[in-house]
Amino acid sequence: MARGVGSGEDLVVPDTPASPTIFVLFGATGDLAARMVLPAFYTLAQKNLLPKEWRLIGNGRGDVAHEDFRAKVHEALGNDVEEAEWEAFSKNLLFAGGGFDETGPGSLLDVIRDVEDELDDEVQPNFIHYLAIPPVAFESTAKALKKHGLTDHARVVFEKPYGTSPDDFRQLDATVHEVLDEEQVFRIDHFLGKEATQNLHVLRFANQTFSTAWHGDHVAAVQIDVPETLDVANRAGFYDATGAMMDMVVTHLMQVAAEVAMEPPLSLDAQDLQEARESVIAAFRPLSPDDVVLGQFEGYRDLEGVADDSQTDTFCAVRLWVDTGRWHGVPFLLRSGKRLGVSEQRVSLVMKPVEGPLPKPDRPSVITLSLAGSGSVAADFVLKQPGEGIKLAHVRQTLELETVPDADPLPPYVALLYDVLTGDRSLFTSSVGLEHAWRVADPVLKNKPALESYEPGSMGPAAAGELAAPYGWLVSGDGADGKSES
């Protein structure tokens, strides 16, 4: 068992979610809770992955009755909820209003006491506090948890972004570590929870063909590409304070780059995986402004909640260099943005052409992992086209992961919440790893390239194509899968 900082008591870390558990969902009536967190809790219940005894207490500023909160949760889950399953689930839902900060806990402590009276009084319940709140409230909420005695036997889940600048990250991290032990802190990154991201490990370490090819001797470039057709919708106020680089590149895509670039860990245990990610992020070269293209889609400043002179980037493309023996000289190309021509989530390894007697194909062979949905793995093959003479054919084979026998894929938030329950930190970012990521981004954050305007429905500023030369971005807006875009 691990000991929480300043708690004076042991933190219960079960191997399975068997202990009674009280979930406190801060920001329970917000957009993130409705879209991601509450549906994930419901899926856990359907799959019998919650403890035998549990309660979920929603928290917010408003004074909402338990029944009204249950109605909001039902609305968030949609119309596919079966009545019997909803009855079993909803009886565990409660609400504590009146806000929560150091000056006062609202009604939260009273509701918690009522729950504790109902649960098995012979077993100390675990607490999981989920902070689905704006990042500016992370520090004050962490302090309030300590102030009101809610850090014992507790784990705390922080949404992204965990800090909005290197200095802000360090201040937040110091505050959090004043009240919590690192083992109690779960910084969620749903990209690490995706089935295909996790399959990076197995594809690479269990298959000799891919393991041998996973090296700069064979790979010309790596692309981690997450374009989005969506705009910022009702998140304009939040998004305008962060932007594409901080919202996606620093928080998500650098972690995925670490999954691709890391050296083989000693095991797939949480500590070994985190150490492998931290080690390779430490080898990421600090970004140069020449390796970054920032853009803003036309019409962004007309959105409600966005300043007329906003300099927020809605597009970011990065050429990242990994200074390890395995990847020296291989560009890692990271791209994400709003209002682009297509929506994709892909990791692509562009393979070097084979030297030999055959003519070089007109496009490179690519190993691709789609991170969208349940994920897929695809690989290109150059074969002889059946028939007379030798004519080369470029063939792509795709395996949808959901078609794997006995597959039961978990959505990212479901998988990560289950890991929080079991105390498995394998797929969560560490304080050390994030410190390295902020170090990499710091030169560009201090000296940002000028924003380039781009038309909604395009694939972003033309300069981003130059970063990806000579192959161009493999995800293009012409609807053709795997063809490069200059």
Spatial neighbors of 107 by CB under 8 A, at least 6 apart, are: 96, 97, 98
Peptide bond into 364 cis (omega under 30): no
Q: In 3D, which of 79, 78, 60 has the Cα closest to residue 69?
A: 60
173 is in an annotated binding site: no
Kindly give, in sequence order, each residue whose CB lies less than 8 Å from that of residue 362, ignoring residues fewer than 6 positions away. 394
Give the Å distances, CA to CA, from 379 to 118, 212, 364, 394, 399: 55, 15, 11, 11, 9
338 labelled ligand-binding: yes
Q: Is 228 annotated as a binding residue?
A: yes
- In angstroms, rounded to a whole number, what is the distance separating the alpha carbons of residues 370 and 391? 30
Rounded distance, CA 276 to CA 259, Å? 9
Annotated ligand binding at 384? The verdict is no
What is the C-alpha to C-alpha distance for residues 172 and 80, in angstroms, rounded to an integer? Answer: 40
Q: 480 is written with which tokens?
A: 């053709």
Whether 328 is catalytic is no
Tell me how many degrees the CA angle 297-167-184 measures, rounded to the nearest 5.
100
360 is in an annotated binding site: no
Name residue, tokens 């102030």: 147
- Which one from 74, 153, 215, 252 is the annotated catalytic residue? 252
**What does the alpha-carbon distance between residue 182 and residue 169 come to, in Å, rounded to a whole number?**
15
Instruction: Say how far apart CA 52 and CA 73 lie, in whole Å.
Output: 21
Q: State the Cα angle at 203 between 200 and 207, rounded to 5°.
A: 150
What distance in Å separates the CA atoms of residue 262 and residue 281, rounded to the nearest whole number?
Answer: 8
Please classify residue 205 by burial: count the beta carbons closer than 10 Å to its beta carbon, then call 0-12 exposed, 13-18 middle and 19+ buried: middle
State how far the alpha carbon of 46 is from the alpha carbons of 43, 84, 230, 345, in Å: 5, 11, 30, 28
Q: Which residues pair with 221 in a beta bridge?
A: 350
Residue 301: which of 312, 317, 289 has the closest Cα?
312
> Phi, psi (5° rounding) for residue 484?
-80, 155
Q: Are strands 185-187 and 154-158 parallel, antiparallel or unpaired?
A: parallel
- Spatial distance between the Cα atoms of 242 and 233, rounded to a whole number of angstroms: 15
Is 446 assigned to a binding site?
no
| Residue 187 backbone dihedrals phi, psi, to 5 degrees | -90, 105
Q: How far is CA 200 from the centre of its chain?
A: 15
DSSP H/E element including 69? helix 66-77
**Is 101 labelled as part of a ligand binding site?**
no
Cβ proximity of 423 and 13 under 8 Å: yes
Provide the annotated binding site. 61, 160, 190, 194, 228, 247, 338
Provide the annotated binding site for NADP(+). 61, 160
Q: What are the residue numbers of the active site? A: 252
Provide the annotated binding site for substrate. 190, 194, 228, 247, 338
